């Protein structure tokens, strides 16, 4: 299958991530793109293409304009405030202090638009996020035009990004932007299947009250796992979206036998809902040796995942989400894609 990739996704190279009380070098780094790209090339998966530029209109079909402008200006505002480190949120509206007014000071604005303190904003973040959504859009455009599958080597990832919030290494919700693109192209219902270890809280929020996007997520139980405040099984959608959000929270330590049962249930629901296109939020951090996750999928399981997704017979776009710091990120991502192509 075709891969879409842009060197511009590497324009974000944050130096700091708040992790266990320390500022560490971020897990979500440009080297991830290089590892996956190298594996795509050496595996002979297929041609690699550059995305086209799609501008901001498809972003504004998902995200609020004030949020997009915040992201575009955040780094300059932070530098103008005389700050020395990277932009990290540290004060928030809370249960007892709900924010009614969006603050003007950059510290308050960061808290308004951030879901956590893990994700620093640095120079190049906005530009990389723009390239990442262009990768997603070109990949889905290829699927829409040809019916053939495509892989978007997105980075930064997207599934934690909500209508007006960033965090969990995500800024623009690439999967949501791609799903909306498919609807705009005339598909009447699209499935977003999120197999990243972490719950896709942003994608869920964006489509929660809608029945034109079926969102399904297999993830670590939020009682124990990031993002901690969304992704429970009783979150099933609201209004006309009731029944179009499906969560499969699973305990830390879950292995493939349990995980694949959830995957098969998700496939059944995708078929029953009559979805015409499948967007896969392809995180490979369910891998047993992922440094920040807690499922126990073995490397070879990823081939089987791809094969099972291929059985749906749907036009499918894969968009990279998480998966960290180990060579297996490329190996496992390409195993899913090759398994899908039936050459695993």
| Contact criterion met (CB below 8 Å) for 308 and 260 | yes
* Residues with Cβ within 8 Å of residue 72, at least 6 apart in sequence: 126
12 binds ligand OKS (CB under 6 A): no
Question: Taking contact as CB under 5 A, which single stretch among the options 46-54, 173-181, 188-196, 307-315 is the one that binds Zn ion?
Answer: 188-196
**Which two three-digit tokens encode residue 272?**
């029953």
| Contact criterion met (CB below 8 Å) for 159 and 203 | yes
Indicate if the alpha-carbon torsion angle 260, 261, 266, 271 is positive or negative: positive
Report the residue from 78, 169, 295, 302 that binds ligand OKS according to the rule CB under 6 A.
169
Whole-angstrom distance between the N-terminal and C-terminal Cα of the chain? 13
β-bridge partners, 94: 97
Q: State the helix-helix crossing angle for 301-310 and 256-272, rounded to 10 degrees.
A: 10
Backbone conformation region of residue 319, classed left if phi is above 0, alpha if psi is from -120 to 50, else beta = beta
Report the residue from 134, 194, 235, 285 that binds Zn ion according to the rule CB under 5 A.
285
283 binds Zn ion (CB under 5 A): yes
Report the residue from 198, 219, 267, 335 that binds Zn ion according to the rule CB under 5 A.
198
322 binds Zn ion (CB under 5 A): yes
Nearer to ligand OKS, 284 or 334 (CB): 284
Q: What element of type H or E holds 181?
A: helix 174-184
| Total interface residues for ligand OKS by CB under 6 A | 14
The residues annotated as belonging to the active site are: 160
Report the residue from 222, 283, 330, 344 that binds ligand OKS according to the rule CB under 6 A.
283
Q: Binding mask 90-129 vs Zn ion (x if CB under 5 A, - otherwise)?
A: ----------------------------------------
Nearer to ligand OKS, 37 or 292 (CB): 292
Name the site residues for ligand OKS (rule: CB under 6 A).
Answer: 17, 19, 118, 160, 168-169, 196, 198, 226, 283, 285, 292, 321-322
């Amino acid at each position: 299958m075709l891969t879409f990739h842009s060197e511009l996704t590497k324009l974000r190279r944050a130096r700091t991530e708040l992790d266990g009380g320390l500022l560490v070098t971020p897990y979500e780094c440009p080297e991830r793109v290089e590892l996956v790209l190298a594996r795509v090339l050496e595996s002979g998966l297929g041609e690699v293409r550059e995305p086209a530029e799609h501008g901001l209109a498809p972003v504004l079909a998902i995200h609020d304009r004030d949020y997009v402008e915040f992201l575009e200006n955040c780094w300059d505002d932070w530098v103008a405030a005389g700050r020395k480190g990277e932009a990290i949120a540290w004060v928030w509206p809370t249960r007892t202090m709900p924010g009614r007014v969006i603050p003007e000071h950059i510290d308050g604005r960061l808290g308004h638009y951030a879901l956590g303190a893990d994700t620093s904003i640095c120079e190049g973040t906005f530009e990389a996020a723009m390239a990442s959504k262009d990768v997603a859009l070109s990949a889905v455009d290829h699927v829409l035009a040809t019916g053939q599958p495509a892989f978007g080597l997105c980075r930064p990832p997207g599934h934690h990004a909500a209508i007006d919030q960033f965090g969990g290494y995500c800024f623009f919700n690439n999967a949501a932007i791609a799903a909306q693109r498919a609807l705009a192209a005339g598909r009447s219902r699209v499935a977003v299947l999120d197999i990243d270890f972490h719950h896709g809280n942003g994608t869920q929020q964006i489509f929660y009250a809608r029945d034109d996007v079926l969102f399904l997520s297999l993830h670590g139980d939020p009682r124990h796992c990031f993002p901690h405040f969304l992704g429970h099984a009783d979150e099933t959608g609201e209004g006309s979206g009731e029944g179009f959000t499906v969560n499969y929270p699973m305990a830390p330590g879950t292995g493939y036998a349990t995980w694949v049962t959830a995957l098969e249930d998700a496939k059944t629901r995708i078929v029953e809902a009559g979805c015409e296109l499948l967007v896969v939020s392809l995180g490979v951090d369910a891998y047993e040796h992922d440094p920040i996750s807690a499922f126990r999928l073995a490397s070879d399981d990823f081939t089987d995942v791809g094969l099972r997704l291929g059985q749906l017979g749907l036009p499918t776009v894969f968009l990279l989400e998480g998966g960290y710091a180990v060579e297996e990120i490329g190996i496992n991502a390409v195993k899913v894609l090759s398994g899908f192509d039936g050459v695993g």
